Amino acid sequence: MSASVVSAPRALVPAARERATGWLRNPAFDLTFVFGVLALAFVVGGAALLVPPLFGWIVYADFWLLAYPHVVSTFTRVAFDRESARRHWFLLLGLPPIVFLATASATWLGGVIALNTIYFYGQTYHYTRQSYGIARAYRRAGGASAFGRDRLTDVVVFAFPIWGLLHRAHQQQPKFYASPIWNPPVPQWLVLLAGGIAMLSLSLWTARTLRAIFRGAAPAYALFVLSHVAVTVVSYVAIAEITYGWLVINLWHNAQYLLFVWAHNARQFRAGVDDSQPLLSRMSQPDRVGMYAAVCLGLSATVYMTLGQATSLLSNKVLPLVLICHQTVNFHHYLVDAVIWRTPRAR
């Protein structure tokens, strides 16, 4: 997810001449985007929690069907046509070696525990920034003033992940995905304080939001923010074990991002196929969702199978190098994601 979506994509913000509806696309898509993705995360993640033998299979399916394609979907905006690739050449060619060296250096200095810790906390930030950006997209889709000043929503979006991270740190669980993880010492009072601030901000936000809805504002904005709150509380607070909690929010993030990028691309090419971007514009048409999914699945399978074959040639003595390679892909995705959503595409 998730770095991540850091500001509302221009293509998902209605133009001045368009009527602000409050929906990213339409009620059917948005309700699927909010409730369908949330249900997927809770049902599938819950199955892994209740039936532990399913955990490995669910993680495997999550990686290949959602996580890897969601990484590839990021690059539909920077590498699917010659002009985009030329404009973002540094992200595609110059940045990966830098990320690899930084990741390798962190692992060399701190070991696998450093890599694991950076991944867990960095991934949480990635998730949160994605929610922040999507919330802003919803707000603008409904007219920037529909819900008044948006700082309260920003507090809600960030307060709950902060509470969740402090709670996880206070637990001092020594393992994440069966590998060591470091958590800073956090006292119980700080966790309670963070939880109180989060709940207070949610109460104030709910009162303000209900008033806006009663005045006629579309509910999609509020529903998305509530879905973010729900999945964060379940993943970081309600589920006791850190890895199972991570799985729930990872499922939510991956599926959500795939749909969001498709919606962005579909809006960008709503006029039809663009000869300057034939592949991306064709696979982004509303009647070619299957093509979009097939391209993301096919490319991700090719990339990650190639990476897997290359790293399988390494011996167990260089296991950290295998982890470094995979985490380099993750961290590079975070950075690319931050840049492409922050910087408007040239017309």
In this predicted structure, what is the pLDDT of residue 14?
A: 47
In this predicted structure, what is the pLDDT of residue 327?
A: 87
pLDDT of residue 140 exceeding 70, the answer is yes
In this predicted structure, what is the pLDDT of residue 120?
A: 94
Q: List pLDDT tens digits, range 249-285.
A: 999 999 999 999 888 888 888 878 877 787 888 888 8
Rg of the chain taking only CA atoms, in angstroms: 20
Q: What is the mean pLDDT of residues 127-134?
A: 92
pLDDT bucket at 181, cuts 50 / 70 / 90: very high
Q: Would you call 254 helix, strand, or coil by DSSP?
A: helix
Q: Are 22 and 218 in contact (CB under 8 A)?
A: yes
Residue owning tokens 């790293």:
311
pLDDT bucket at 15, cuts 50 / 70 / 90: very low
Give the residue extent of every domain in the chain: 10-342
pLDDT of residue 47 exceeding 80, the answer is yes
Structure tokens at 129: 């920034």
Q: What is the mean pLDDT of residues 103-124?
A: 91
pLDDT bucket at 343, cuts 50 / 70 / 90: very low
Q: What is the mean pLDDT of residues 317-332?
A: 78
Please provide the DSSP assignment of 163-207 as one string. Answer: HHHHHHHHHT-SEETTEE-------HHHHHHHHHHHHHHHHHHHH
Phi, psi of 295 (to 5 degrees): -65, -45
